[in-house]
Structure 1
Amino acid sequence: MADNSTEHEGRVALVTGGGRGFGKAFGEALSALGAHVVLADINGDAAAEAAAELTAKGLSATGVACDVADEAEVGAVVSEVVERHGGLDILVNNAGLHAAYNKPFTELGLAKVRRVLDVNVMGTVICSLAAHEAMRGRPGAAIVNISSSAAYANRSIYGVSKLAVRGLTVSFAREFAADGIRVNAIAPGLIFTDTVRAQLSPAEADRVLGEQILRQEGREQDIVEALLYLVSSKASFVTGETLRVTGGFALSV
């Protein structure tokens, strides 16, 4: 088996929502393979702490404060990355609003509906456009968006926003292909992180497991492995796709 421990040596990755959860795990995985990782999070302290944890392990990372719905903030972050590192190879559009917005429109109200669209949809657009020039022509350049299994159920504005992310993935894949940038997405199912376990009742967890084909708990590492595949040379002929990592939840043809 080939040694891929330095697969991303010399490459630069920007991970939004990088202060916690998937984003933090993505950052650790990419930096462990040699990349310098910029963890951007609306909570700048969380981003800085996550980066400090990685550097303490001998990995290369920095943490920055950034609201992905703020065009100026995103532009400033990308400009700083280019100034310090010369360009950008990997963008992970992971930042998003989740559980609290997975409710009926009538319960949320227009202000919260706008906010989830600003972050989940416009955040993906803003970050992708800001990164485009910095990624143009870089060998193996790749963007990975984070959608959700909720995009296939569409029971709330959250699901609709993640359906839009799937659509954006196809559109940006078409538009950026000429510049050598692949664009794909991951749609995670229910992943049993410590936070999810604390928030989810046993009955709700059992309901979701019952809707899966594989009656097993999704792990954070399952999503990390999907990301590492999509940004690797193994996926060099893959673009515009949404990889479902759901245990078969809401499976359809």
Structure 2
Amino acid sequence: MSAEGEFAGKVAVITGGGRGLGKAFGEALAARGATVVLIDLDGKVAAAAAAGMGGRAVGLNGDVADEAGMAALMDRIAAEHGGIDLLINNAGIHSAEANEFIGTLGIARTRRMFDVNVWGVIHCCLAARPHMAGRQGAAVINIASMAAYGAQKAYGVTKLAVRGLTMSFAHEFAGDGIRVNAIAPGLILTDTIRAELAQPVIEHVTAMQIIPRPGEERDIVETMLWLASDRSSFVTGETIRVSGGVTLQI
């Protein structure tokens, strides 16, 4: 099968799909034949992103922190598209402002980060599971972070939890034929990161890497495509670090 049709007939659900990596994941899967459903807190942004994917995508409003809302949304998606084959848990709070110690961030903001970054993964996995069970090549891909390694601040702790959930759900979902893996990106120069981080910070992190170039969206997209495909059919419960080697310093 050609790369262009590799995911023909597959239904892929991507949270945080309106921009950044989520949008890039959707574009790559749609270009390879998948039907893509982008879920985003900003439904208009999700719809606009979907409109540029050649008629293979739809954009929906949804808050991954809303357990009942996500259950209803996954039911709707499965009913309209005949099931779910791929779930990419990409939605997350990750701004530089939120990357603080828990005492500094405060209880309310820390709770919201856990609601999205951790409980969001749980809600979506459990809601999608019955619609993925038994489908050939069904796979969940969680987005962790290099901050999960040597985690100190609140954001890193949430992503450490994502690594743990990946292992737990890999065991739990195995009987349904669903593989569960995660990607831990390093510094990836999405539009959001370029806007948030000062150039000296970007240069500092890049200098810590073994591969001395900035990470790009395509680096994470290619890893996602491999994990979503049958080429990784013997891989589950793993978190793949894509950081240019920076995590080897931790």
Normalised by the length of structure 2, the TM-score is 0.97
Question: Which residue number in structure 1 is paired with residue 230 of structure 2?
Answer: 233
**Unaligned stretches of 5+ residues in structure 1:** none
Partner Cα separation in structure 2 for residue 189 and residue 85 of structure 1: 34
Residue 147 of structure 1 and its aligned partner are, at CA, apart by 0.1
Contact 1:13–1:90 under 8 Å retained in 2: yes
Question: Which residue number in structure 2 is paired with residue 20 of structure 1?
Answer: 19
Contact 2:62–2:70 under 8 Å retained in 1: yes
AA aligned to 2:71 is G
Partner Cα separation in structure 2 for residue 157 and residue 7 of structure 1: 38
Question: Which residue number in structure 1 is paired with residue 57 of structure 2?
Answer: 61
Question: Which residue number in structure 2 is paired with residue 41 of structure 1?
Answer: 40
AA aligned to 2:29 is L
Contact 2:21–2:190 under 8 Å retained in 1: no
Question: Which residue number in structure 2 is paired with residue 74 of structure 1?
Answer: 70
AA aligned to 2:133 is R
Contact 1:12–1:88 under 8 Å retained in 2: yes
Contact 2:11–2:86 under 8 Å retained in 1: yes
Question: Which residue number in structure 2 is paired with residue 211 of structure 1?
Answer: 208
Find out whether 1:176 has 2:158 as its counterpart. no
Question: Which residue number in structure 2 is paired with residue 112 of structure 1?
Answer: 109
Find out whether 1:194 has 2:191 as its counterpart. yes
Deviations 1:115-144 (A, max 9, x none): 001100000000000000000000000000
AA aligned to 1:89 is D
Structure 1 residues 1-12: aligned runs within 5 Å: 3-12=2-11
Residue 228 of structure 1 and its aligned partner are, at CA, apart by 0.2
How many residues in Structure 1 have an aligned counterpart in Structure 2?
249
Partner Cα separation in structure 2 for residue 245 and residue 9 of structure 1: 27
Normalised by the length of structure 1, the TM-score is 0.95
Question: Which residue number in structure 2 is paired with residue 52 of structure 1?
Answer: 51
Partner Cα separation in structure 1 for residue 122 and residue 11 of structure 2: 20
Partner Cα separation in structure 2 for residue 82 and residue 206 of structure 1: 44
Deviations 1:42-89 (A, max 9, x none): 1111111111121xxx24111100000101110111111111111100
Contact 1:153–1:250 under 8 Å retained in 2: no
Secondary structure at 1:218's aligned position in 2? Answer: coil
Secondary structure at 2:118's aligned position in 1? Answer: helix
Residue 250 of structure 1 and its aligned partner are, at CA, apart by 2.3
**Unaligned stretches of 5+ residues in structure 2:** none
Secondary structure at 1:63's aligned position in 2? Answer: strand
Contact 2:20–2:191 under 8 Å retained in 1: no
Partner Cα separation in structure 2 for residue 194 and residue 161 of structure 1: 23
Secondary structure at 2:182's aligned position in 1? Answer: strand
AA aligned to 1:72 is A
Residue 155 of structure 1 and its aligned partner are, at CA, apart by 2.4
Partner Cα separation in structure 1 for residue 178 and residue 167 of structure 2: 12
Contact 1:32–1:59 under 8 Å retained in 2: no
Residue 252 of structure 1 and its aligned partner are, at CA, apart by 6.4
Two-structure CA RMSD over aligned residues (Å) = 1.2
Deviates more, 1:124-133 or 1:194-203: 194-203
Question: Which residue number in structure 1 is paired with residue 149 of structure 2?
Answer: 152
Residue 106 of structure 1 and its aligned partner are, at CA, apart by 2.0
- The share of aligned pairs that are identical, in percent, is 55
